[in-house]
Structure 1
């Protein structure tokens, strides 16, 4: 369940179609400061990342750190991404038109940080990372020609 304050935050950003640095500070210092993190909150923030393409870099950085901390260190079993957690993460990160750049970073950082990780998330992170590397390589080849 998400708080009333987070709901208002989401409504405000959706109306403006933008998330700036001040919004991120408000999210960190007022809205989520004393909140108990949950999958619902993570789901809402990842959906917000997808829905608001005009977002400050600080939002992506905060979302990556928050999601990694919650999934790897706060959720039980600690340090482990089991099958159930991996399924939730892959579904959340890939919904819509596919993962955003931030969602790809989240998957990669979780795999990097976790002591053990289910192969479902590992495959997702590697597949998306490989696709990004392939795109980057193709773009570089086009620029070189």
Structure 2
């Protein structure tokens, strides 16, 4: 399934993401955010599972399975562009800002903000077409809720 996912992401022809692909792409972005500082903390894993459970109305087991698949996809992907390109085209702006907010939740849950995490969020927001102002507002909302 991972191979098929990457074939669709890298195909010369435009092949829109399926709902399953979009879920996997978001989950992989969350995993990438969690792993960026070199420490994949249990609190980050729990937050990813909670985000996937809530966003997609999944059971805890289904969210964990999606995260496991996303861990493989994230490890195999050389860059973040593969996960953001089609999401940007398929998802309305408001939902893309919600994606940035979810990424901030993962980054901030461990109580630390590494430079690599800040850089990843800046790049990801840009690739998703989310303004710096909206990304900063999303971060502040997350900080206020933690």
| TM-score normalized by the length of structure 1 | 0.42
Structure 2 length-normalised TM: 0.41
| Higher-RCO chain (CA-CA 8 Å, sequence separation at least 6) | 2
Bigger-Rg structure (1/2): 1
